[in-house]
Amino acid sequence: MDDWRASAACQNADPDLFFPVGTGAPALIQAEEAKEVCLRCPVREACLRWAMEDSRQVTGVWGGLDEDERRARKRRLRRRTSEVR
């Protein structure tokens, strides 16, 4: 386990909070609640980096971003990389 996890704001939260099921209003509210935990997290960037680069998490809220937001961020990064070449 990575050292950053010991400082994560979510370590005492219910893990299910970070994995909303569905796309309806209850799931959207749950995702926003999870993101609020992330906003006050001192290791948010490390968490996001782990989810996107090291483990390639597909589901859940990691580092304050949900699945769609992480996919969009990856697309933007790929575009920037291809523009530089």
pLDDT-derived band at 82, boundaries 50, 70, 90: confident
The answer to whether 47 is a known ligand-binding residue is: yes
Whether residue 83 is predicted with pLDDT greater than 90 in this model: the reply is: no
For residue 61, what is the enclosing H or E element?
none
All structural domains of the chain with their residue ranges: 4-84
CA 32 to chain CA centroid, Å, is 11
Q: 23-65: per-residue pLDDT in tens?
A: 899 999 999 999 999 999 999 999 999 999 999 899 999 999 9
Q: What pLDDT shows up at residue 81?
A: 78
Where is pLDDT greater, at 77 or 1?
77
The answer to whether 9 is a known ligand-binding residue is: no
Task: Provide the 3-class DSSP secondary structure of residue 6.
Answer: helix
* Entry pTM: 0.87
